Amino acid sequence: MNKIGLIIGREYFTRVKKRSFLITTILVPIVIIGFYAAIIAVMIKGGDEKQSIAVIDDANLFNGKIETKSKSYNFSFIRNETEQVFATKYKAKGFDGFLYIPAFQLDSPGRFTLHTPSSASLGTTAALERIINKAIEDKRLIAQGFDPRKYEAIAADISLGNTIDTKEGSKQSMAGVAYGVSFACGILIYMMMIIYGTQVMRGVTEEKTNRIAEVVVSSVKPFQLMMGKILGIGAVGLTQFAIWIILMFMMQLALPLIFPDIVNQMKATAENPAAASMAANIAQGISSLPIGKIVFSFLFYFLGGYLTYASLFAAIGSVVSEDQQEAQQLVFPVLMPIILGFVIMTKAINEPNSSLAVFGSLFPLTSPIVMMGRITYEIPVWQLALSMALLFGCFLLFTWITAKIYRTGILMYGKKPSWKEMMKWAFRKS
Amino acid sequence: MNLLELHNLKKYFATQKAVDDISMNIEQGGIFGLLGPNGAGKTTLLRMITGIFYPDSGEILFDGKKFNALEDARNIGYMPEERGLYKKMKIGEQALYLARLKGMSRADAMSSIKKWFVQFGMESWWNKKVEDLSKGMSQKLQFVTTILHQPKLIILDEPFSGLDPVNANLIKDEIYKLAENGSTIIFSTHRMEQVEEICDHIVLVNKGQKILDGTVQNVKQDFKDHIYQVGGNILAENLMTHIFQVVKLQNGELQLKLNEGTKPNDVLSFFINQGIQINSFNEVLPSLNDIFIKLVDGTGTARAFQPVN
């Protein structure tokens, strides 16, 4: 037992100490989050500074006055100028942009134009569109004989809440958030199983082709070497998750400090009520999820799925030589159920209680991924228990079989054995 | 006392009787040569002794007790023919790891590694990686990792391949020292001149079976062809006799083969009676190489695949 600890330690530390581990673990999420943050920052930029915009209102849409709650824009009406002439002058006069409203029929508004020196931000065009739409609507209401202020009092703007009723009580839900979390968990398990499974396979092949395996198995049992490698690499995966979770918390704390503008923007932009309510809904949606259940299931299914497949990958690694093509041929049938699981998972998110989803989340080769797709929904306890038991049983069975293939394969050099020969090794006694 | 006893070991693979009923005893403190052509079953035999393979039948006694692969790993050092080390791992850490896998404590392993690294002039290697070493250097490292844990039984499969004469001598001297200090060494090779030089006792296997077992001197005696070398001023016309046959005559040096019933003294008398001056007279024992070729030749250079049942 002590020796398997040594092997786990070696597998773990040689990987964790590598520079590439640090890069993929720490840099990749930072780069991804930074990338999204940059996109968001660029998208909503345009409100943090006051923009002065010239307006030529040939249609007299605004009656010389624009009412808006936003303090981001400063409108100045220009008279006695044409669009073509003023387009050459507004920059020199200190305007950030120039809005041209040609004369138009109320029932068929023409083409309104915003002139800017460089492409206008989405926030700016959206805000101006809202202002113009409001003005046109007001005019139309008046033309129909309504008082715009009365209409405003009549108009409704509701959002539909979704309450999930479970045994623990009723909770608010946000379908989009549940969907997103399920999908993210499923994809993460899918990727981790393939990435770490492949690492196990490479490690085994390396030991075999370096002939270190023969030295090591004269000190320990081949099974200890195989399990040590699988567990050590699994521990690397868990470490990676732990670092990511810590990073996520730190991000949550640090984001407002790094980008105070964004958060203020989100809170303050009353002209962007959709975005504000979405942020609130996401926060509410996340708090409505059964976090404990998700985290526990995620860890269980990651470990269960990884261990089940890792033993298969180890067996493949033990029978191939350095030739990558040989490995690919053998890996393909192992990847098939993983990919199938991913496909079923995308279906299961939309229909978590369909028979396909239930089957996929019980069948041990697909359950780690598919169950993640259902995890934010209510799953009958017996299904969860049966799925976990089947996965655990499958892990034991696969390990028992693959250990025999591994034991023979790791000391065989030369030609790759056929499937028939491998089956013979697997089911031979002792 | 025998450190290792093998009784009727058998190991059959699907297409080969790799080891077919081999028994032998290996004495404590000796240097034991395991010889055989390629594919004779040497590696399979060694893998059974190191616990990598279980024999299909037969029994291994280690130090008087039934061999237990896991417990006895502590007392065995095995250097396989194909060298194996982790290429990307630092050399110091690698030596420590392999020593601890054998069951040494961290402190013991460190002090043993330091001692051997100094002895072999490898102190500066600690933080290097194996991929930075030349073939000969990694061979030296492999040898050191094999003996770090002071095993009672050291198994070396072709330990000198790829080594220059200086490093080969360094390792050879260590092998003698280890044997003097009570370690038992099994030395597997097909380089006969090394065996003749180093080993006390040899076993020759071919096609999975033991075909020769004994001390180097005894084996040579058993296979001697009664060939003698006579030094003197001998001419071809002096050799008309029926007591021996001429093997070779060159510059007055004669090699002859005694005929049935002839004693060496008869030859001496024969020359003395003719008044020929004899400067030297000695028996020519066959080299192990000759014996090896004589025994193995004609049995096919490669083993044909054979059905087991």
Please compute the mean of the pLDDT values over residues A7-34 and round it to a whole number: 85
Give SS3 for B195.
Answer: helix
**Domain presence at residue B305:** no
Residues B177 and B250 in one domain: no
| B-chain residues near A3 (CB < 8 A) | 101, 103
Q: Which of A77-86, A236-245, A380-389 has the highest mean pLDDT?
A: A380-389
- The per-residue pLDDT of chain A, averaged, comes to 81
User: Does a structural domain hold residue B12?
Assistant: yes
Q: Report ipTM (2 d.p.).
A: 0.79
CA atoms within 13 A on the CB side of A54: 23
Q: Is the pLDDT of residue A305 over 90?
A: yes
Top mean pLDDT of A305-309, A414-418, B200-204 is at A305-309
- Does B73 lie in the same domain as B170? yes
Distance (Å, rounded) from C-alpha B303 to C-alpha A417? 20
In this predicted model, which residue has the larger pLDDT, B259 or A322? B259
Residues of chain A with Cβ-Cβ distance to B83 below 8 Å are 211
Q: Domain check: are B248 and B230 in the same one?
A: yes
Task: Tell me the pLDDT band of A166, cut-offs 50, 70 and 90.
Answer: low
Best A218, A423, A430 residue to mutate vs chain B (most B CBs within 10 Å): A218
Q: Which of B215, B234, B252 is the last residue of a domain?
A: B215
Q: Which of A17-26, A189-198, A370-379 is most confident?
A: A189-198
* Cβ neighbours of B145 in A, within 8 Å: 215
Q: Average pLDDT of A398-407?
A: 90
Domain end position, chosen among B158, B191, B215:
B215
Taking contacts as CB-CB distances below 8 angstroms, the residues of chain B near A411 are 47, 52
- How does residue A262 score in pLDDT terms, banded at 50, 70 and 90? low
Chain A, nearest residue to B71 by Cα: A219
Q: Count the alpha carbons within 13 Å of B26 in the hemisphere toward its beta carbon.
A: 31
Q: What distance in Å separates the CA atoms of residue B254 and residue B230, rounded to the nearest whole number?
A: 5
State how far Cα A22 lies from the chain centre: 21
Measured CA distances, B184 to A244, B29, B69 (Å): 54, 4, 18
Model confidence at B278: pLDDT above 70? yes
Give the tens place of pLDDT for each residue, A171-197.
Answer: 555 566 777 788 888 888 898 899 999
Rounded to the nearest 5 percent, the helix, strand and coil shares of chain B are 35, 30, 35
Least confident window among A230-239, A244-253, A326-335, B159-168: A244-253
Beta-carbon-side half-sphere exposure of residue B272 (alpha carbons within 13 Å):
8
By the CB < 8 Å criterion, does A119 face chain B? Answer: no
The residue of chain A with its CA nearest to that of B106 is A6
Nearest residue on chain B to A205, alpha-carbon basis: B86
Mean pLDDT of B193-215: 87
* C-alpha to C-alpha distances, A109 to A77, A79, A136, A306, A339, nearest whole angstrom: 20, 21, 9, 61, 52
| Bridge partners, residue B4, by sequence | B26, B62
Number of structural domains in chain B: 2
Most confident of A170-174, A267-271, A330-334, B192-196: A330-334
Span B37-60, average pLDDT: 86
Structure letter (DSSP) for residue A252: H
pLDDT number for residue A287: 65
C-alpha B283/C-alpha B276 separation (Å) is: 19
Least confident of A378-387, B153-162, B204-213, B251-260: B251-260
Asked if A225 contacts A188 with a C-beta cutoff of 8 angstroms, the reply is no
**CB hemisphere CA count around B230 (13 angstroms):** 32
Kindly tell me if the per-residue pLDDT of A263 is higher than 60: no
Of B69, B76, B86, the CB nearest to A212: B86
Across the range A398-406, mean pLDDT stands at: 90
Sorted by sequence, the CB contacts under 8 Å of residue A125 that are 6+ apart come out as A114
In percent, how much of chain A has pLDDT > 90?
21
Q: Closest-CA residue in chain B for A209?
A: B84
By Cβ distance, the residue of A3, A215, A219 closest to B84 is A215
A69 has pLDDT over 90:
no
In A144-272, which ranges are continuous DSSP H helix?
148-154, 175-210, 212-216, 222-258, 260-268
- How far apart are the C-alpha atoms of B64 and B250, rounded to whole Å? 55
For residues A263 and A275, the answer to whether their CB atoms sit within 8 Å is: no
pLDDT at residue A11, rounded to an integer: 92
| Average pLDDT score over residue span A214-235 | 91
Q: Residues B97-111: what's their mean pLDDT?
A: 91
Residue B95 in any domain: the answer is: yes
| Residue B131: closest C-alpha in chain A | A210
Pairwise CA distance, residues B54 & B68, whole Å: 10
Would the CB atoms of B52 and A217 count as touching at under 8 Å? yes
* Domain assignment of residue B297, yes or no: no
| Confidence grade of residue A270 (pLDDT, cut at 50, 70, 90) | very low
On whether both B197 and B258 belong to a single domain, the answer is no
- Is residue B75 a part of any domain in this protein? yes
Q: Is 0.80 topped by the overall pTM?
A: no
B64 and B136 assigned to the same domain: yes
pLDDT at B112: 92
Cβ-contact B81, B30 below 8 angstroms: no
Coarse DSSP helix, strand, coil percentages of chain A, rounded to the nearest 5 percent: 65, 5, 25
Q: Are residues B256 and B136 in the same domain?
A: no
CATH number of B141's domain: 3.40.50.300
Distance from CA of B170 to the nearest CA of A (A): 22
Residue A56: which pLDDT band, with cuts at 50, 70 and 90? Answer: confident
Q: What is the mean pLDDT of residues B64-69?
A: 86
User: Once rounded to an integer, what is the mean pLDDT over residues B263-279?
Assistant: 85
For residues B255 and B187, membership in a common domain is answered with: no
Whether residues B90 and B237 share a domain: the answer is: no
Please report, for the domain that includes residue B262, its CATH number: 3.30.70
Percentage of chain A beyond pLDDT 70 is 83
Asked if A46 and A124 count as a contact pair (C-beta separation under 8 A), the reply is: yes
B179 or A39: which carries more pLDDT confidence?
A: B179
Indicate whether B209 and B232 sit together in one domain.
Answer: no
Residue B299 lies in a domain: no
Domain residue ranges in chain A: 51-154, 168-427
- Higher-confidence position of B98 and A45: B98
Considering only the top CATH level, what class is A51-154?
alpha beta
The alpha-carbon gap from B82 to the nearest alpha carbon of chain A, in Å, equals: 6
pLDDT of residue A385: 92
| A109 closest CA partner among A135, A83, A88 | A135
* CB contact burial A341-362 (16+ within 10 A = b; e otherwise): bbebbeebbeebeeeebbebbb
Q: Which of B54, B57, B86 to mutate to test the interface with A (most CBs of A within 10 A)?
A: B86
In a domain, B307, yes or no: no
Query: For helices A28-44 and A260-268, what crossing angle results, to 10°?
Result: 50
- Which one of A14, A214, A220 has the shortest CB-CB distance to B101? A220
Tell me how far apart the alpha carbons of residues A377 and A349 are, in angstroms, rounded to a whole number: 9
Contact check, Cβ <8 Å, A219/B101? yes
A284 band by pLDDT with thresholds 50, 70 and 90: low
d(CA A171, CA A161): 10
The mean per-residue pLDDT over the stretch A369-393 comes to: 89
Asked if B100 has any chain A CB less than 8 Å from its own CB, the reply is: yes
Q: Say how far apart CA A361 and CA A36 lie, in whole Å.
A: 32
CB contact under 8 A, B78 and A210: no
Instruction: Examine residue B301 and state whether it is found in any structural domain, yes or no.
Output: no
Residues B207 and B232 in one domain: no
Chain A hits for B79, Cβ within 8 Å: 215
Check whether residue B159 and residue B244 sit in a common domain.
no
Q: Please tell me the distance from the alpha carbon of residue A376 to that of residue B223, in angstroms, as a whole number.
A: 83
Mean pLDDT, residues B44-54 taken together: 87
Q: Which two tokens stand for residue B276?
A: 């020929």
Burial letters B8-25, b for 16+ CB under 10 A, else e: ebbbbeeebbbbbebebb
A101: left (phi over 0), alpha (psi -120 to 50) or beta: beta
> How far does the CA of residue B78 sit from the closest CA of chain A (Å)?
7
**pLDDT averaged over every residue in chain B:** 85
Contacts of A212 in chain B (CB under 8 A): 84-86
Residue that finishes a domain, picked among B215, B234, B266: B215
Query: Which residues constitute the domain of residue B235?
Result: 225-284
Q: Is A210 on the interface with B (CB under 8 A)?
A: yes
